[in-house]
Amino acid sequence: MRRFLVTHSHRDHYTQAVTVRREFGAEVLIGAGERVNLERVIDPDHAESQNSVPRLRRAGAAELAAAMERAGRDHVRDMNGWLLPDGYLEDRSKVVVGESRTLEVIETPGHTRGHVVFADEANDLLFAGDHVLPRITPSIGLEPVPTASPLSAFLASLQLVRERPDAALLPAHGPVGRRVHERVDELLAHHGARLDASLAAVREGRHTPYLVAQALPWTRRNHALADLDRWNAMLAILETQHHLEVLVERGALTRTEQEGVLHYSLA
């Protein structure tokens, strides 16, 4: 193994490559947009829970924020695998793999700010990382340095991939066998439905991300927010906030902040 091309900086994608590099000298490359996330992660003053706690408080989920904060104090930080890469990949750059295969690096921010996919047009393949998953929708903006509107970026990235030639989907999680365009259409439809449901919840009088999240079903089994574990409840509430922010961007809602909590209302 001589080189790893990594789609993004989440632990389950990045740290094993760094461990193999340490043992065998392999090169690790990742999208240039992930530099700020990796630099924050390796900062000794960084705590994994420090982003979620204030964000949950602003979303109106004070009790969950307190629980996450307590868990963070008890958590022993595992730094194994968190080192900087050997280099960064620029958008639309080409990487030659083996003797004849060429991959094009495509920036697809949303899941993280620097997520990339690798397109092999000659062989009808897309190495999609977590950008396009065959059975589930990826988390949005769960990273040390979040962007202002990760869902907006994700939707734009999905549209970008949809406008490229179709290809066989090679995802980071889940089975192969699907086509990219088909699955992208499903993901866009899913988020369209979530935007509609979020708007309807505000129309019914739910004004914070936490209250809106309580009105929505979660996972393919349509669980209530209260049925989710602490980690997945956090993901659900923050994802709801991202949907509300997109509705603000589109002019359907307005946002105010009252005593440190975000409130949304019909425009």
Tell which of 145, 162, 178 closes a domain. Answer: 178
| Number of domains the chain contains | 2
My answer on whether 167 and 105 are in the same domain is yes
My answer on whether 166 and 187 are in the same domain is no
My answer on whether 109 and 23 are in the same domain is yes
Tell which of 178, 203, 235 closes a domain. Answer: 178
At residue 209, the pLDDT reads 98
CA distance 92 to 54: 36
CA distance 99 to 80: 33
Tell which of 178, 198, 221 closes a domain. Answer: 178
At residue 81, the pLDDT reads 75
Range of the domain at 106: 1-42+79-178
At residue 75, the pLDDT reads 59
pTM of the full predicted structure? 0.94
The pair of structure tokens assigned to 68 is 């996450």
- Residues 92-114: what's their mean pLDDT? 95
My answer on whether 149 and 21 are in the same domain is yes
- For a pLDDT cut of 70, what percent of the chain falls above it? 95
My answer on whether 129 and 207 are in the same domain is no
In a domain, 9, yes or no: yes
Q: Residues 29-62: pLDDT tens digits? A: 999 999 999 999 888 776 555 678 999 999 999 9
My answer on whether 117 and 158 are in the same domain is yes
